[in-house]
Amino acid sequence: MSELRESSVDPWGRAPGRSLSSAPYRAAYRHWFRVAWEGIEHVPRQGGALLVANHAGMMPVDGAIVQQGIEEERRRSVYSLAHHGFWRFPFVGRLLANSGAVVGHPDNAQRLLAQERQLVLVFPEGSKGPVKPPSERYRLQRFGRGGFVETALRAGVPIVPIVLCGTEDTTPVLATVGLLGQRVPITLQSALFGPLGAFLHLPARIRVRVLEPVRFEEPSGLDGYPRSLVMDRSEAIRERMQAALDDMLLRRKSIWSG
């Protein structure tokens, strides 16, 4: 087989060496957000694993931060599961796929995890994280029905919880309003600069903590798993992540210095 050319893409549409974090973002990662990691050794060097992270902030940067750090420090590609709605717009879908995003479907997750043994990043809070009101700042939202646990069980891979502290300070939410049946956050930047303000992020220090992997004894590849098992494991992981986030908030000196 001939070597892939630089313009080639993998079966998911990802270009070799490309990630969600472009060159300008890498500069922001180092100098604007000044990202600091702890526990990154918990991300496995080989084999499939489901990375589970908290999700917050208008125009969230957490996915690119996790991807950038792991691809730099662990030399492994990270694929992110994204909402299928992005692929309704050909240009957006192509751009996301070229950078490592994959349509968030169970079949895609199983292929990446069980067959290709890749690292896959998911945000169990879904859209609830970025649109939560100020009163729930740094409080993890419900992890849906725990589908991510069933995904890991079926694929026979560990879950690696990842907690980010500081992302909510880059786009502080002043209030949320209803718009077309959806909750929309009003950030400080959007209040000052209008819609374009949603793309602006303050230079808050962001810290990332990787917790010890969660491994399962249950057999992989089953058609289904008890709902009680899935929900209990999901809630236990959410509680571990919330406890870590509380500890990180307690330990940091300020928003700017971390």
Q: Is the per-residue pLDDT at 21 higher than 70? A: no
Is 10 inside a domain boundary?
A: no
Q: Is the per-residue pLDDT at 15 higher than 90? A: no
Structure-derived torsion over alpha carbons of residues 149, 240, 21, 28, reported in degrees to the nearest 10:
170
pLDDT given for residue 1 in this prediction: 33
Average pLDDT over residues 154-181: 90
The answer to whether 230 and 151 have CB atoms below 8 angstroms apart is: no
Residue found by looking up tokens 């010890």 in the block? 212
As a whole number of angstroms, the distance between CA 172 and CA 166 comes to 10
As a whole number of angstroms, the distance between CA 86 and CA 98 comes to 13
Is 206 inside a domain boundary?
A: yes
Q: Is the per-residue pLDDT at 205 higher than 90? A: yes
- The count of domains in the chain is 1
Average pLDDT over residues 120-140: 87
Is 230 inside a domain boundary?
A: yes
Average pLDDT over residues 140-145: 91
CATH number for the domain spanning 231: value is: 3.40.1130.10
Q: Is the pTM of this model over 0.75?
A: yes
- Name the residue with higher pLDDT: 183 or 28: 28
Q: Is the per-residue pLDDT at 185 higher than 60? A: yes
Is 47 inside a domain boundary?
A: yes
Is 13 inside a domain boundary?
A: no
**Where do the H-state alpha helices sit in 85-160?**
90-98, 106-110, 147-155
DSSP type of residue 82: E
Is 3 inside a domain boundary?
A: no
Average pLDDT over residues 29-49: 96
Q: What is the overall mean pLDDT for the chain?
A: 87
The least confident of 9-23, 66-80, 86-100, 176-190 is 9-23
Is 52 inside a domain boundary?
A: yes
Q: 3-state class of 204 per DSSP?
A: coil
Average pLDDT over residues 229-243: 97
Domain membership of residue 131 as a residue range: 24-251
Buried b / exposed e along 184-207 (16+ C-beta atoms within 10 A): ebbbebbeeeeeebbebbbebbbb
Is 139 inside a domain boundary?
A: yes
Q: Is the per-residue pLDDT at 170 higher than 60? A: yes
The answer to whether 184 and 214 have CB atoms below 8 angstroms apart is: no
